[in-house]
Structure formats: structure tokens, C-alpha cells
Amino acid sequence: MTTANPNFLKLQNNYLFADIARKVAAFKQAHPDRRVISLGIGDVTRPLTPAVVQALRLAVDDMSVADRFHGYGPEQGYAFLREAIVQNDYVARGVSLSADEVFVSDGAKPDVGNFQELFSQDSIVAVTDPVYPVYVDSNVMAGRAGEQQGQRWDRIVYLPCVKENDFVPDFPSVRPDIIYLCYPNNPTGTVLSRAALQGWVDYARREGCVILYDSAYEAFITDPDVPHSIYELEGAQEVAVEFRSFSKTAGFTGLRCAYTVVPKALKISDGKGGQVSLHAMWNRRQSTKYNGCPYIVQRAAEAVYSPQGRRELQDVIASYQRNAALLRGAAGGMGLDVHGGVNAPYIWVGVPRGLDSWGFFDRLLQQAGLVCTPGAGFGAAGEGYVRLTAFGTPADTEEALRRLRNLY
């Protein structure tokens, strides 16, 4: 009989957000009259902006006539979008990249989930703790995580990000091959300063590691000392891959567009004394197993960089930033320990004494009809915290504040 990949079977059946969805569904069934407000899953609420909608409409028109119809596109993305990305997200910040170092895709989650395929199975993986679960789960499925011991996997190197180290991970005692870093951080909402990130780039260069850098939330950065791209740091193109997304910056969670930068300067060992280019490997992976992001979606993403698109999205981001500031203020005013939310759409809130993170989740749901994300779902070091997101509507955010004030 055909046999399953044993590494898949090591994963628990349920995924964090599925667990939350089940609890929320049960609450709604028991209380059909109460309106639940989600500060949980990080989905946006503002619609696509007019510039993006207009670009989509024009692209749909293209698809409706034979001489402007677009069939299979390049698996790596259309040049018009790759060029716009390089000019606006990199050259404008003093970073020099070529357009063919950018791979457009349908999401940062697929890219982050698939990228580990390029590395040998015995590679040692380091992740921060708490962490976005996809980094860990995709490596469990690939057989790199070893066995589960409590909340941790015995072949994964965990880098705790806790109050004691100001949420800046220390270098590990065991040298990892692959280091996942996400800044502005999901779930803590904290950031790395330029100096701290340069420290990690230098570490990776010294130790021969690859950094997989997820900067999906860079649009929320307000502090000028916080780098938007890892390539702002010296030497990063030799050691780092960067994942970006239009999901949170432009409201594309339902439209699906992202990109991954794989610099040509980034080489790893071929296991036989030579070196290979990760750029060439990712190109081969995408050519074989991916068929490109829809043309109409790439035209929409291009419009994000137009003068009108930029103005409109600044307003959208500013509205989410206002939500974050309000939620930070409310949680702080309740005497809770509050982190993040200044350069990120996430606020990391210490739970009241006597509760754990699922306990606080349950209290917020049952007593206030509010959904948060329990920190323990992001790893052992997430216990004692919950994550709030700032992606609600202004009205929902105000209502959430009112309910929080009533609760305490």
C-alpha cells in the first residue's frame, strides 16, 4: 500500500487559526444575539483603493479582447511589476537590485512555506519564539524539525523574544543553517533597529547562514531608525532572502500578490565543495511548480506604486496605525503590559495575572465578544500574551475599546 510522508503525520491536526475559528463559531451559536468583533486573524477590512480598482478594471478589459489578452505569463512575474518593485521599494531606499532578482507570486505564505525546499533535509533551522507557525510547520513537513517535545521540536533552534531581551533575539549557541526573521514582527509587533539587524547580517556572514527575512509589515514602520528592507544593511545580499507582500500594505489579502527577492550574490554549498546560486534554484522551483500570478492582479499591484495609489494607501495605513495607537492606549490604560503597535499592525499584550493566554482569549470572547489570538499559539515564549491586530474598521475598534473598558 502507498505510504504517507511520515513527517506530515507528525503535525497536529489543527492549526492555530482553525482552533480559534471553532471556538468563535461555538460562541456565536450559543449567543446568536451578540456581535463578535475580531482583533484576531490579521485580515484587512478597508476595500481596495480607487487606483487599484481602476487598474484591475483596465486589466479585465485587456483580457476581454484578443489583441490585449494575456495567457500564460512569466512564472517570475511581468517585467512591468518587477521593475516597479525594484524602483519603489528598493532603489528609492538606496538599495541596488535588478528586476530579475524579484520573483512575483500569489502570496508570502506560499513563498515562505515553499522556500525551505531548496535546502538539504539535515539543515538546522532557527526561528524566533513566538513565531509565525508557517516557518515551523513547513519544516516539520519537510522532516527538518525532528520530534515534538511539548510545544517545541527537538531539531529546531528557538530564539526567545521576550521582555527580558526587549524582544531582540540573542545569537544561538548552536549554529543554524537557516534563520527565519520577521520584522516588523508577527506576532509581537516589535522591530529590530538598524544596528541589531546589522548584527544578524554579520552573524550570518561569519557563520555561513542564510536569513529568510519576512518584511510583510514594513509599510507600518514609523521610526526612521528601523530598516524597511534587510538589504539596507551592508552585506545582506550575500546572506538574505526577503519576502514581501501586498496583503497588508495594499489590502490584497483576497487579491493575492506578493514577492520574494533572491539576490544573485547569495550562494550556498552544493555539498560537493562547490557553490550554487539560490536564485537559480528558486527560479527552477518556480518554473517547475508555479505558473505565475494572474496578469490582472499584477496590474493591480503595479498601481500601488502610482502617485495616486501611494497617496490612497498612505491614508489606509494611517487609519490602521490610528487603530493600533488606540488599542495600545486602551490596553495600557487597563494596566496591562503592552508591546508593539508603533511600527507594526500588531499589539502584544501581557495577560492579567492568574490567566494564561488561552484563558484570557476565553475571557475576552465570553465576556466582551472580542476575538484575540492567544500568544501560546505562536510558541512556548508566547505564553502569557495575546496578539491584537489593528486591521478593524474604526467603528469596530471604537466598540472594542468600549467593551475593553467595561471589562476592567
**Residues 223-252 interacting with its own copies (rule: CB under 8 A):** 251
CB 245, min distance to its own copies, A: 10
Q: Which is nearer to its own copies, 179 or 376 (CB)?
A: 179
Q: Does 79 bind its own copies (CB under 8 A)?
A: no
CB 162, min distance to its own copies, A: 26
Binder of its own copies out of 31, 57, 206, 405 (CB under 8 A): 57
Helix (H) or strand (E) holding 401: helix 394-407
Quick check: helix, strand or coil at residue 241?
strand
Q: Provide Rg for the chain, Cα atoms.
A: 21
CB 71, min distance to its own copies, A: 4
Which among 51-59, 182-190, 215-223, 331-339 is the span making contact with its own copies, rule CB under 8 A? 51-59
CB 48, min distance to its own copies, A: 5
Q: Which amino acid is at 149?
A: Q
Binder of its own copies out of 24, 36, 99, 141 (CB under 8 A): 141
Site string for its own copies, 175-194 (x = CB under 8 A): --xx----------------
User: 74 preceded by cis ω (within 30°)?
Assistant: no
Question: What is the separation of C-alpha 386 from the centre of its chain, rounded to a whole number of angstroms?
Answer: 17
Q: Does 69 bind its own copies (CB under 8 A)?
A: yes
Binder of its own copies out of 1, 30, 174, 195 (CB under 8 A): 1
CB 72, min distance to its own copies, A: 5
Residue pair 113/138 in contact (Cβ under 8 Å)? The answer is: yes
Strands 178-182 and 125-129: parallel
Binder of its own copies out of 19, 36, 43, 202 (CB under 8 A): 43
Q: Does 64 bind its own copies (CB under 8 A)?
A: yes
End-to-end CA, the chain = 58
Q: Which is nearer to its own copies, 350 or 379 (CB)?
A: 379
Quick check: helix, strand or coil at residue 143?
coil
Helix (H) or strand (E) holding 349: strand 346-350
Q: Which amino acid is at 123?
A: S
Q: The cell 506604486 sits on which residue?
A: 305
Which among 71-79, 95-103, 316-324, 396-404 is the span making contact with its own copies, rule CB under 8 A? 71-79
CA distance 199 to 212: 15
CB 165, min distance to its own copies, A: 25
DSSP 305-340: TSHHHHHHHHHHHHHHHHHHHHHHHHHHHTT--EEE
Binder of its own copies out of 26, 80, 91, 208 (CB under 8 A): 208
**Burial class of 13 by CB neighbour count within 10 A (0 to 12, 13 to 18, 19+):** exposed
Which among 6-14, 24-32, 321-329, 375-383 is the span making contact with its own copies, rule CB under 8 A? 6-14
User: 184 preceded by cis ω (within 30°)?
Assistant: yes
List of residues 6+ apart from 212 with CB closer than 8 A: 112, 115, 135, 178, 179, 180, 181, 240, 241, 243
CB 26, min distance to its own copies, A: 19
List of residues 6+ apart from 153 with CB closer than 8 A: 136, 140, 145, 146, 147
Q: Which is nearer to its own copies, 295 or 361 (CB)?
A: 295
- Give the residue among 170, 160, 183, 281 at the shortest CA–CA distance from 229: 183
Site for its own copies in 103-132 (CB under 8 A): 106-107, 109-110, 113-114, 117-123
Site for its own copies in 255-314 (CB under 8 A): 255-256, 268-271, 276, 278, 280-281, 284-285, 287-297
CB 223, min distance to its own copies, A: 27
Site for its own copies in 326-385 (CB under 8 A): none
